[in-house]
Chains A and B, each alone.
Chain A
Amino acid sequence: MIGRLSKTLVACALALIVASCDTHTVDGELRDLSVRYAPPSLEAEDGSLFKIGSNYRTSFNTSLNRLRGAGFKIISADAATGEIRAESNANNLITCGRLSVGERGSPNIFPANAELAVIEVPAGPGRSSFLRRQVAVHTTVDIRLGVVSGRNNAVFASIGESHVVNISLAQVTDGQEVYDQTVQFSGGEIRRFRRGIECGSSGEVRAIILGN
């Protein structure tokens, strides 16, 4: 009898411990699900001249090779005019700040230009669900090489960027779209999406061309 009573008391104690644990497993406990956003710090520039070498032919070929090495597809390249056009779908060519999702006190932070994320959102009182967030980027780069006389025939490059960025959010359950917007901006611009996300060039294109 006493043994049975002590087991009952231990069971009650364990039940109390479980009840007091913050297990983070019950949807009803998610009271402060939020999405916070820190915009990027950008000093965008576009079309500026950058010294890239001292030999025109070598600089032209090096630029092509560096673009190819970074995954760019060369659309056109004319050594006579010094013009190169290339495109890429890499997300790291832009920056959009950082997103923080989850409960206050234990947020998970990730770049807002991440190609794919699954974020937890409210789904009615005491419930949560998940949305699939996708960012698609298409970048076109126009480079023009030229030799500036009087400066030891240094080869300069003018780099122009054009980014088309799409951000979409959809239910993970049935794929129903809840947000979709596309914006376009040059390397010298910062564009703001309706929901507040700001994107601009990350400077990666210039770094690729300069071999940094």
Chain B
Amino acid sequence: MTKKISAWTMFVRAFLVTLFAGTPASQAQQSGVSDDDAWNYAVTVGTAAAVREYLRSFPTGVHIEDAVRLLLNLGELSSTGTLPQLQITETGGNLY
């Protein structure tokens, strides 16, 4: 019985970690979360997904070098990125 409860607890925990690790930081940024808070959140969660979300949300953030180092240490950045085509809008156009 003890083993079944433990497995159940682990399942719920895994569910919660998956859910919160995937919370888009851009949503957090839009709601006014600071660069430091987002970084602390990513480090606290401690998953590659959370660190990636930090980089997505703060491409010029003060912790981007730390984030890249962390992803490299986790072995999460092995693939080679390609240079995407630049989609140019009108001068002063809306980027949204």
Contacts and interface: CB of A to CB of B under 8 A. Distances in A.
B18 interface: yes
A124 interface: yes
B91 interface: yes
Contacts of B85: 35
Given A109-B95, A118-B68, A173-B77, A102 B56 contact: yes
A143 B83 CA distance: 40
A80 interface: no
A108 B58 contact: yes
Interface stretch (A20-28, A65-73, A181-189): A20-28
Interface in B38-94: 47, 49, 52-53, 55-60, 64-65, 67-68, 71-72, 77-94
Interface stretch (A48-56, A127-135, A152-160): A127-135
B21 A25 contact: yes
Given A38-B93, A109-B95, A173-B77, A118 B64 contact: yes
Nearest to B96: A107
B82 A121 contact: yes
A196 interface: yes
Contact of B59 (A38, A117, A171): A117
B77 A196 contact: no
B26 A122 contact: no
A130 B55 contact: yes
Nearest to A195: B86
Contacts of A129: 77, 79-81
A129 B79 CA distance: 6
Interface in A81-129: 97-102, 106-110, 114, 116-124, 127-129
Contacts of A116: 60, 64-65
Contacts of B94: 38
A117 B91 contact: no
Contacts of B91: 38-41, 97
Given A14-B11, A36-B87, 7 more contacts: A23-B18, A36-B86, A38-B91, A110-B59, A129-B79, A129-B80, A197-B86
6 contacts: A25-B21, A102-B26, A106-B26, A108-B57, A120-B52, A121-B82
> Which 4 residue pairs spanning A and B have beta carbons closest together?
A23-B22, A129-B81, A25-B49, A100-B95
Interface of B: 8, 11-12, 15, 18-19, 21-24, 26-27, 29, 47, 49, 52-53, 55-60, 64-65, 67-68, 71-72, 77-96
